[in-house]
Amino acid sequence: MRGVRKVSPTPDAQSPAPAVRVATLADLETVVALRIALLREHAGNRVYGRLRPDAPQRARKLFAEQLEAPNEVTFLAEHGGRAVGILRCIDAGGSPLLHPARYAYVASVYVAPAARRAGVLRRLMHEAEGWSRERGLREMRLHNAADNPLAGTAWDALGFEVVEVLRVRALD
């Protein structure tokens, strides 16, 4: 793919923390590459493993709309000039029957395997928390694949707790 930045290797102990910035339309190919990599990593998952062959082409329009949406932001983590992580944060409306009326929904979180355990997720979350607080949001929510125990451990370490379980049943 033209315009896609390569993922950098794991930063070493002397390297500065990864830089995190807001993604723009100019980053569309990088956003597509990282988010498709996230889905491909979950090929064995009953939901995410059903990736369409033309998903990258379908993703461009959807992700471009998301990058321009006023109620959400996509953060890119970079190290050595290369994209190593992504996190999307949405100012989402809650149920009219429950508090809070709005919350921050964290989605499409991916850190390249070579950059894991180097503080990338923590930096992305720091920026998402700041963005959420600036909007007056006081709660963050996310979904993660149940078949990924490392993700569960990472989210636990960042203070998230499991409060809901998604179940799937095929209809024959």
φ/ψ of 139, rounded to 5, equals: -150, 145
Which pLDDT value is given to residue 14?
52
Sort residue 156 into left (φ over 0), alpha (ψ -120 to 50) or beta.
alpha
Residue 92 identity: A
What was the pLDDT predicted at 17?
82
**Would you say domain 19-157 falls under CATH 3.40.630.30?**
yes
- pLDDT tens-place values along the chain, 172 residues long: 333 333 334 444 456 789 999 999 999 999 999 999 999 999 999 999 999 999 999 999 999 999 999 999 999 999 999 999 999 999 999 999 999 999 999 999 999 999 999 999 999 999 999 999 999 999 999 999 999 999 999 999 999 999 999 898 989 8
Q: Which two tokens stand for residue 18?
A: 């990864």
Its pTM stands at 0.89
What is d(CA 117, CA 134) in angstroms, rounded to the nearest whole number?
28
Query: Alpha helices, DSSP H only, in the chain?
Result: 28-41, 55-68, 120-134, 149-157
